Amino acid sequence: MKHSLKTGLSFGLTSGIITTLGLMVGLHSGTHSKIVVIGGILTIAIADAFSDALGIHISEESENIHSAKEIWESTIFTFLSKFVTSLTFAVPVIFLPLSTAIIVSICWGMSLLGIISFYIAKAQEIKSWTVIAEHIIIVSIVIFLTHYAGDWIRKISG
């Protein structure tokens, strides 16, 4: 797989999963509003996908080893993978009760992250369970912290 594709996909997918789940869980616990959670997902899909794509673009440029074509490929793949991944989390929110959609989304995100982690470990020829566990622990911490941040915001806002 080309470096630019691997960079864009791995970063965009991972960021799409972690950022979107964190936002969803925090907004759900803070508001319990389906429209707010959908608005948050759309915001992440647009604004954060552009932000991450520009971050990858600048990072790749700063390495001073990639061609302009490779840099733009990484940029585009990052944007598209983050955008599409984030939008997939809107599907359960649209079609299911919000609390159920949050659980489904967490399962979906953990599954995707587990699959990505497995392939990363396989490519590095290391034990897949350690990579999967490390990544699942990180997303679990994000979910835990954003849930309690949302609860705290709801409590202080009345």
pLDDT tens-digit readout, 75-113: 999 999 999 999 999 999 999 999 999 999 999 999 999
pLDDT attached to residue 5: 87
Cα–Cα distance for residue pair 75/95, rounded to 1 Å: 32
Question: Does pLDDT of 142 surpass 90?
Answer: yes
Residue-wise pLDDT tens digits, 7-52: 889 999 999 999 999 999 999 999 999 999 999 999 999 999 999 9
Q: Tell me the average pLDDT across 117-127.
A: 92
64 conformational bin, left if phi > 0, alpha if psi -120 to 50, beta if neither: left
The runs of H, that is alpha helices, within 44-67 are 49-63
Cα 19 from chain centre: 4
Instruction: At 81, list the tokens.
Output: 């993978």
Q: Is the pLDDT of residue 158 over 80?
A: no
Say how far apart CA 118 and CA 115 lie, in whole Å.
5
Rounded to two decimals, what is the model's pTM?
0.92
According to the model, what pLDDT value does residue 122 have? Answer: 93
Residue 62 has pLDDT above 90, yes or no: yes
**What pLDDT was estimated at residue 114?**
96
